[in-house]
């Protein structure tokens, strides 16, 4: 199925490569913290580019109307989950004491490695489902549990000392706590040390692995086409770095977004479980996803306006 969309793969790779290079070049050569204005501009560029690519799929890809709706639904699911995940990134940087000017560097490598992991997970997930169809019910149950956990269980704290990746890294490297630069590794006294940035990167990676357990089955519930799943995921994730700096200071405003995302996860979980009995049209799925996101944002804004000090 991957080779069926060759020209669209080429278009996608070129767009991502050009935009990501410009994004990284601009931010990596700017000293100090990334401003809200710049973050909003880049967030807008990534979103508009994703929508333009969605339009290309809709107009020119075979069965474009269906694929276009699937792409948009997958993109919205991943984007809404990504916004909720910003809470975790903020906690990681706070707990690890990462300065504002070093956060873009950590996020850059976090996103690059997350993309590689996502592609691997997506291809494995789609392949396994095609070989062992009952796995779709397990994915559905995972999504229902994820929805319950997001809606009713308290936010987990960052326990970096017991993180499995941190434990592995600690066996081989000493962590340097008095370094203020942007490098992950430094040499002192003929010894290699890792800086505080490296454990922060590992925490972001381990968090993204957990996020992928929710987001990838959710998109697979919409479509089994690797092209649609991968492109919608990557567009959403690549815009996450800019979105982080745009929303980091006001993320508490969207306090009810997690409940909207929980409803979406529960819906797609049910959709997967009943898929052999009744296939819900993708247009209905897209409508439900949009309603959940819009309603949760509106309720969040109304609640924040009524109680501006509530987080």
Please give the Cα distance from 49 to 235 (Å, whole number): 8
Q: What is the pLDDT of residue 309?
A: 57
Q: Which residues contact 282 (CB under 8 A, 6 or more apart)?
A: 66, 69, 70, 73, 222, 223
pTM of the model: 0.85
Q: What is the pLDDT of residue 157?
A: 59
Q: What is the pLDDT of residue 311?
A: 47
Segments of the chain scoring below 50 in pLDDT: 1-3, 311
Q: What is the pLDDT of residue 32?
A: 55
Please give the Cα distance from 289 to 278 (Å, whole number): 19
Contact in structure between 301 and 253 (CB atoms under 8 Å): yes
Alpha carbon 164 to its chain centroid, in Å, reads: 21
Q: What is the pLDDT of residue 21?
A: 82
Contact in structure between 256 and 311 (CB atoms under 8 Å): no
Question: CB atoms < 10 A from the CB of 281, how many?
Answer: 10
pLDDT, tens digit (0-9, with 9 covering 90-100), for 105-119: 888 888 888 888 889
Please give the Cα distance from 122 to 145 (Å, whole number): 20
Q: Indicate the domain borders of the chain.
A: 2-153+198-306
Q: What is the pLDDT of residue 1?
A: 47
Q: What is the pLDDT of residue 175?
A: 74
Q: What is the pLDDT of residue 51?
A: 96
DSSP string, 127-191: HHHHH-TTHHHHHHHHHHHHHHHHHHSPPPP--GGG-HHHHHHHHH-EEESS--SS-SEEEETTE
Integer-rounded Cα Rg, in Å, for the chain is 20
Q: What is the pLDDT of residue 68?
A: 95
Contact in structure between 273 and 141 (CB atoms under 8 Å): yes
Q: What is the pLDDT of residue 267?
A: 93
């Amino acid at each position: 199925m991957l080779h069926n969309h060759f020209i669209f793969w080429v278009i996608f790779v070129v767009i991502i490569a050009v935009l990501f290079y410009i994004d990284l070049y601009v931010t990596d050569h700017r000293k100090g913290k990334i401003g809200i204005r710049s973050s909003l501009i880049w967030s807008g560029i990534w979103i508009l580019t994703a929508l333009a690519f969605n339009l290309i799929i809709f107009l020119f890809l075979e069965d474009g109307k269906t694929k276009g709706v699937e792409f948009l639904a997958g993109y919205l699911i991943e984007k809404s989950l990504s916004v909720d995940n910003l809470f975790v990134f903020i906690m990681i940087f706070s707990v690890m004491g990462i300065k504002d000017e070093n956060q873009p560097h950590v996020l850059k490598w976090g996103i690059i490695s997350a993309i590689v992991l996502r592609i691997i997970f997506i291809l494995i997930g789609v392949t396994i489902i095609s070989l062992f169809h009952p796995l779709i019910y397990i994915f559905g149950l995972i999504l229902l549990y994820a929805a319950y956990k997001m809606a009713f269980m308290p936010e987990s704290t960052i326990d970096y000392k017991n993180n499995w990746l941190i434990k592995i890294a600690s066996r081989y490297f000493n962590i340097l706590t008095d370094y203020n630069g942007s490098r992950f590794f430094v040499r002192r006294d003929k010894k290699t040390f890792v800086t505080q940035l490296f454990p922060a990167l590992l925490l972001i990676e381990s968090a993204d692995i957990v996020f992928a357990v929710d987001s990838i089955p959710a998109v697979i519930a919409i479509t089994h086409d690797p092209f649609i799943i991968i492109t919608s995921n990557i567009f959403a994730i690549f815009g996450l770095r800019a979105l982080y700096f745009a929303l980091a200071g006001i993320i508490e405003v969207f306090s009810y977004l997690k409940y909207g995302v929980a409803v979406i996860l529960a819906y797609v979980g049910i959709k997967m479980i009943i898929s052999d009995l009744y296939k819900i049209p993708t247009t209905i799925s897209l409508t439900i996803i949009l309603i959940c996101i819009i309603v949760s944002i509106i309720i969040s804004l109304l609640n924040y306006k009524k109680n501006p000090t509530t987080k």
